[in-house]
Structure 1
Amino acid sequence: MLSELIIEPCSKENVKKIVDGINEYNLHKVPALSDVWTPLEYVVKNKNGIEIAGLLSGINYWNGLEIKILWVKEGYRKKGVGTRILKYVEKIAKEKGATISMLDTFDFQAEGFYMKNDYLPIGEIKNFPSGHRRIFFSKKLNE
């Protein structure tokens, strides 16, 4: 039977089928508390309208804020821009019912930044990439 299987790249329809399938399974086990995915995606611009930072995230169906990417342009780092957009998104997420925030970063990216913003390390992968660590963080939003 396994020898008869074919593995091939996904089409958009395949991706939808996979997402729908895992959502159906998950929601059968634990009912949703909110919409399946509520995007929270924001950009920060300077006074000249130039994009200097952005945050891509969303609220999952169990009211968890998942931060995928937080970027601040070189020259604007360590000036409070990252904290400002992070706090902004956390506030909106809480207003929409999120109770926890989660993300991952690397030791060469923003480990210290997230710790300064009250995120707690909950796990890590050592030596990935080689000589570094990938760190997973969470933060309770209702405290």
Structure 2
Amino acid sequence: MEIKAEFTIEPCEKENIKKIVDGINEYNLSKVPALADIWTRLEFVAKNENGTEIGGILAGLGYWNGLEIKILWVKEEYRKKGIGTKILKHTEKIAIEKGAEISMLDTFDFQAEEFYLKNGYKPIGEIKGFPKGHRRIYFSKQLTK
């Protein structure tokens, strides 16, 4: 079967997004079998005594049980009080219980570089000059029971 190289590029609709995700997942799983469900959400919020959100994390476990941290946030006036570390450790503990052996994330030098270093994360790469005058840093950490 001959495949022609003529094509168009168009904005994605919801059904297109599903096809793209399914396509990459099918390919990936043909190379390395899954260890877990597609995505296990590990998302938590920290609230103060009044029930106001003061921090939280959006993370999850992928096919190969890697903890992927997308966002970890603590409200500015609550920073440097150990809240971020407690949220992070809570999430790592649950991830380990579910079989995770590695955690990964990215941050910027003006965000939480020192925080992640203090919590045992190792820089594995960076993009200098993004955004201009700053760095985007990629971290990982081996998780242990």
2:32 aligned with 1:30, yes or no? Answer: yes
How far is the alpha carbon of 1:8 from its aligned partner?
Answer: 1.5
Aligned to 1:74: 76
The one-letter code matched in structure 2 to 1:84 is K
* Structure-to-structure mapping, 1:42-121, within 5 angstroms: 42-121=44-123
Cα distance in 2, alignment partners of residues 8 and 58 from structure 1: 30
Unaligned runs of 5+ in 1: none
Secondary structure of 2:15's counterpart equals helix
**RMSD, matched Cα:** 1.0
Unaligned runs of 5+ in 2: none
How far is the alpha carbon of 1:142 from its aligned partner?
Answer: 2.1
The one-letter code matched in structure 1 to 2:118 is K
How far is the alpha carbon of 1:5 from its aligned partner?
Answer: 1.9
TM-score using structure 2 length: 0.95
Cα distance in 1, alignment partners of residues 16 and 141 from structure 2: 34
Give deviations 1:72-97, integer Å, cap 9, x for gaps: 11100111110000000000000011
Secondary structure of 2:77's counterpart equals coil
TM-score using structure 1 length: 0.96
After the TM superposition, which parts of structure 1 deviate over 3 Å for at least 4 consecutive aligned residues?
A: none
Cα distance in 1, alignment partners of residues 81 and 49 from structure 2: 15
Secondary structure of 1:24's counterpart equals helix
Cα distance in 2, alignment partners of residues 100 and 78 from structure 1: 25
Aligned to 2:8: 6
Give deviations 1:21-79, integer Å, cap 9, x for gaps: 10000000000011111111111000100000010000010110000000111100111
